Each structure stands twice: as C-alpha cells, then as structure tokens.
C-alpha cells in the first residue's frame, strides 16, 4: 500500500501528461494548485482553448472486501471541494473527482457512507449535478508506482 500523500497529485499529473488517462487527454495546458472559489485550490487545472477542467485528486487507502472507500475519516475540506466543484460546473466548466487508490486489492470504488455520510451524500448530489468520477488503482513495488487500471464506481 502506498502511504505517501505527495504521490497522488504527482502521479495523476504525470499520467495526464503522458496520455495515460483517456478521459483527461487532449488538454494543452496543465497547472497544479490553482486558486479558485473561496479559499480553495484545485489540484489540477486543465485547459484547452476555452475548455476548462477542474480535477480534484483524493488519496484512497481504505479497502474492505475489495471495495475502495473514501473518505477514511470525516473530511470537512473534502466536502467543501465537492461544493466548490459544483459551482464550477454551474459556470459551464468540467469537473472531475479523481480517486487514486494506492493499493492493488480493490475491485470497485464507493463512498464510505459509514464514515462520513455528509460527504457521501454531497458526492452523490454532485454527480447528479454533473461531477465526473474517475477511480484508478496503482501498481507498486519497492522500486516504482504507476497508474494501473480504472475501477468501476458504485454510488
């Protein structure tokens, strides 16, 4: 299991740059930690002409019975990100929540209702409002880590 919390943003950015994430390819500009909304920064901002895509990356390490779950603790900050991303969708922008599962034993991703029901409820609302979800696991060993496969999402 990967526990370094600096890995997810770097790995996702590099994977986008290399064209390894089909749903996020084709953007000419990639920026990180861009301020938006009120006291928020988006992890990755993608632009191509007038098209803008906000990508929030979440590190997921909790897996139970093959289900990757997020969050693993109550997250007020994560809830705020969901609200902020919905505002960008209303403005006509694309928004993606990217869950990077730093393990190799998950088969599906799902919100952790039993840990943070408010986050789970807001995530489902955000999806209804146009938020996209991507969930990927990784391959890792003692020498490397890389994006492995996209997992289905069960809301």
Measured distance CA(11)–CA(144) in Å, rounded: 11
- Whether residue 9 contacts residue 26, with contact meaning beta carbons closer than 8 Å, is answered with no
Q: In what order do the strands lie in the sheet with 62-64?
A: 62-64, 67-70, 108-111
Measured distance CA(141)–CA(151) in Å, rounded: 20
The beta strand positions in the chain, using DSSP E, are 29-36, 40-48, 51-60, 62-64, 67-70, 94-101, 108-111, 132-140, 145-150
CATH code for residues 7-150:
3.40.1350.60
For residue 110, the SS3 value is strand
Render each residue's pLDDT in the chain as its tens digit; 155 residues.
Answer: 776 677 899 999 999 999 999 899 999 999 999 999 888 999 999 999 899 999 999 999 999 999 999 999 999 999 999 999 999 999 999 999 999 999 999 999 999 999 999 999 999 999 999 999 999 999 998 889 999 999 999 99
């Amino acid at each position: 299991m990967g526990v370094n919390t600096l890995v997810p943003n770097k790995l996702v950015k590099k994977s986008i740059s290399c064209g390894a994430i089909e749903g996020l390819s084709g953007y000419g500009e990639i920026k990180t930690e861009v301020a938006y909304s009120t006291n928020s920064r988006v992890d990755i901002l993608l632009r191509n002409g007038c098209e803008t895509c906000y990508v929030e990356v979440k590190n997921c390490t909790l897996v139970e019975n093959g289900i990757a779950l997020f969050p693993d603790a109550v997250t007020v900050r994560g809830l705020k990100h969901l609200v902020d991303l919905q505002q960008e969708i209303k403005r006509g922008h694309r928004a993606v929540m990217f869950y990077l599962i730093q393990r190799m034993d998950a088969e599906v991703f799902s919100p952790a209702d039993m840990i943070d029901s408010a986050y789970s409820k807001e995530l489902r609302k955000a999806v209804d409002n146009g938020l996209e979800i991507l969930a990927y696991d990784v391959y890792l060993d003692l020498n490397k880590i890389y994006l492995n496969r996209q997992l289905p999402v069960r809301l």
